[in-house]
Structure 1
Amino acid sequence: MPTLSSSVIDPLWHQFQALIPARVDTHPLGCHRRRVPDRIVFTKLIDRLVLGGAYTKHADHRVSATTLRTRRDEWITAGVFATLEQIVLEAFDKIIGLNLEDLSVDGCCVKAPCGGENTGPNPTDRGKSGQKRSVLIEGNGIPIGVVLAGANRHDSRLLEPTLECLDRLPFSRMPESICVHLDAGYDSKKTRDLLGRLGCQDRISPKGEFIKINHTRRWMVERMNSWHTRGFRLLQVVLDRGTAAQEAFVQLANAIIVLKRLLKEAWSTHRWESRPVKGYHWR
């Protein structure tokens, strides 16, 4: 059973395939083993993202774990994962539109038992190795960018690099007024000075005061953290040790989330030739 429905993985693959650079065979004799098709490797990487586990658990008679890691590194070097996320985000902005007047930022700590880069002792998990994802979303819950760091890094220290993810959008797209919604962990003069320097308004939950999350706009970023950890097992338990591989799978997950939202939002307003006959089912 496929980990993603065909209405999601097929358009994702068509765009991904278009980004893969042409490969020139330089073998002098041309007698090496036949190259594993890119579609098989792509599907295996999707499976690993959704189901988690080591590469050896997803290898089979068609593709080895070594080939999965090698092809992954080739695509990372070519910038395929980052470009795919950017294209899907721009497509959503063009068809549906991003709400950049209201932004939310929050951090999420997950397990990283293998250690590696962007990991550190998690103060909420008895000092075990963990990773923190600082997530930036727009007003309707679409992820704009993610910054990775060790679990021991404070959320407020990651705020500025997280907001810098807005640089991926054209400057002309920025609204005149931007309001950033944050939880009590960001309630400090340093945070307010930073937002003031950036020309942003702030809506920060005060420390020591309980405010129901559904009375704020922060519930969307909490939902995004849930989508990351519940929908993608590899983002709940990080197994890759290198920054490049960690970021690649986060970018792939964001591309899937945005594409699903795009299909859902466009279902009642747009028509396309490959549209499923029985309708699109969100899952």
Structure 2
Amino acid sequence: MASPDTRGAKETGPNPTDRGRPGTKRHVITDRNGTPLAIRLTGANRNDSMMVETMLDAVPPLKGPPGRPRRRPGKLHADKAYDHQRCRRECRERSVIPRIARRGVEDSKRLGRHRWVVERTLAWISRFRRLTRRYERRADIHQAFSTLACAIIACRRLERFC
């Protein structure tokens, strides 16, 4: 039997809010309605700002008017954890307007108008019992279940609009 600290070791890390127990963090990009566009998993101790490039590149092409398909969203709303020049540079390189709250300058209340959409999507993902607690040791299987949950959420969102 594997020791508790080696289970799921690839995509887990000591959770700073849970007494150092191994944990996984979900990074999600949504549209303004809360439909998940991309999801990635990392260890709980990974800084959010390190995933900006990966998340922006993970967004699939969006169906739209004739011509070249749009690959990325027009704007990125993010909280103070992403307040780094590197994050702003990565957004600008991909023609995405960064709307990132600045530490010590902006109040979090203004960002709350946009942030609750992502929090709601994370709550929808947590409603899938298989994802509430991580049972899989392999990171690729847990990523697959997370992607499947996002696909189900997107399908339900599309049914509402049709």
Question: TM tier, shorter chain?
Answer: 0.7 to 0.9
1:113/1:237 contact within 8 Å kept? no
Task: Using the TM superposition, give the Cα deviation of residue 213 of structure 1 relative to its aligned residue in structure 2, in angstroms.
Answer: 6.0
1:121/1:127 contact within 8 Å kept? yes
Task: Using the TM superposition, give the Cα deviation of residue 243 of structure 1 relative to its aligned residue in structure 2, in angstroms.
Answer: 2.1
- Give the equivalent residue in structure 2 for 1:199: 95
1:226 aligns with 2:144: no
1:205/1:211 contact within 8 Å kept? yes
Q: Find the aligned partners of 1:236 and 1:179 in 2 and give their Cα distance.
A: 30
- Give the equivalent residue in structure 1 for 2:34: 141
User: Residues 3-43 of structure 1, C-alpha deviation per residue, up to 9 Å, x if partnerless?
Assistant: xxxxxxxxxxxxxxxxxxxxxxxxxxxxxxxxxxxxxxxxx
Task: Using the TM superposition, give the Cα deviation of residue 114 of structure 1 relative to its aligned residue in structure 2, in angstroms.
Answer: 4.2
- Give the equivalent residue in structure 2 for 1:159: 52
3-state DSSP class of the match of 2:114? coil
For 1:1-283, list aligned pairs within 5 A: 114-169=7-62, 172-174=68-70, 178-208=74-104, 209-212=106-109, 215-229=112-126, 231-266=127-162
Change (3 A) 1:193 1:210: same
Q: Find the aligned partners of 2:128 and 2:13 in 1 and give their Cα distance.
A: 21
Consecutive unaligned residues of structure 1, counting only runs of 5 or more, are: 1-111, 267-283
Q: Find the aligned partners of 1:143 and 1:186 in 2 and give their Cα distance.
A: 19
In the comparison of the two structures, how many residue pairs are matched?
Answer: 154
Please, what is the CA RMSD of the aligned residues?
2.5
3-state DSSP class of the match of 2:89? helix
Q: Find the aligned partners of 1:215 and 1:131 in 2 and give their Cα distance.
A: 24
Task: Using the TM superposition, give the Cα deviation of residue 190 of structure 1 relative to its aligned residue in structure 2, in angstroms.
Answer: 1.3
User: Residues 113-145 of structure 1, C-alpha deviation per residue, up to 9 Å, x if partnerless?
Assistant: 943321111112111100011101112211111
1:115/1:130 contact within 8 Å kept? no
In percent, how many aligned pairs have the same letter? 36
Amino acid at match of 1:201: I
Change (3 A) 1:212 1:146: same
1:184/1:204 contact within 8 Å kept? yes
Larger radius of gyration: 1
Consecutive unaligned residues of structure 2, counting only runs of 5 or more, are: none
